[in-house]
């Protein structure tokens, strides 16, 4: 059974929220790609639309949106996501994951595309009670 740690970025507030996703909700994210818009119900945010922006696998290898598939590959990189050169013109062969979410992925990064009726704090912490 798949289990992910979803990092949801609220672009209006400039905050990020960590949500553990497991069970059938996590299984519904398998096969989705970077750039796809998914329903927020998968991470406990009904009414929200979330865009998948990236992620990393169990060893911390980042995902790239321009690499098809879901496996880890070694590709030759100049300055880009996954490699920052020490001097101009340096290139190096680095391991990078493809853009499709698989069971090897541990963290999935998402950004809010469309907001729901409730705030993210209210949706993620329903047990918070106001005293007054």
pLDDT of residue 10: 92
Q: Is the pLDDT of residue 127 over 70?
A: no
Band the pLDDT of 132: cuts 50, 70, 90.
Answer: very low
Token pair of 6 as six digits: 């979803």
Can you tell me the distance from the alpha carbon of 55 to that of 70, in angstroms, rounded to the nearest whole number?
12
pLDDT of residue 126: 66
Q: How does pLDDT run across 4-28, given as a tens digit for each residue?
A: 999 999 988 899 999 999 999 999 9
Report residue 61 CA to chain centroid gap: 13
Token pair of 125 as six digits: 């912490």
DSSP label at residue 61: P
How many Cα atoms sit within 13 Å of 26 on the Cβ side? 18
Q: How does pLDDT run across 73-102, given as a tens digit for each residue?
A: 999 988 887 788 999 999 999 999 999 999
CA angle, corner 8, sides to 33 and 43, nearest 5? 75
Can you tell me the distance from the alpha carbon of 76 to that of 126, in angstroms, rounded to the nearest whole number?
47
């Amino acid at each position: 059974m798949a289990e992910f740690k979803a990092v949801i970025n609220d672009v209006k507030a400039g905050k990020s929220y960590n949500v553990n996703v497991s069970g059938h909700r996590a299984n519904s994210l398998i096969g989705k790609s970077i750039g796809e818009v998914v329903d927020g119900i998968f991470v406990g945010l009904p009414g929200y639309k979330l865009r998948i922006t990236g992620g990393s696998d169990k060893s911390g290898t980042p995902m790239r949106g321009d690499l098809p598939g879901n496996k880890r590959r070694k590709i030759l990189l100049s300055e880009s996501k996954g490699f920052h050169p020490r001097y101009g013109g340096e290139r190096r062969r680095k391991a990078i994951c493809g853009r499709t979410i698989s069971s090897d992925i541990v963290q999935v990064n998402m950004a809010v595309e469309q907001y729901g009726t409730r705030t993210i704090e209210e949706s993620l912490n329903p047990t918070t009670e106001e005293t007054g």
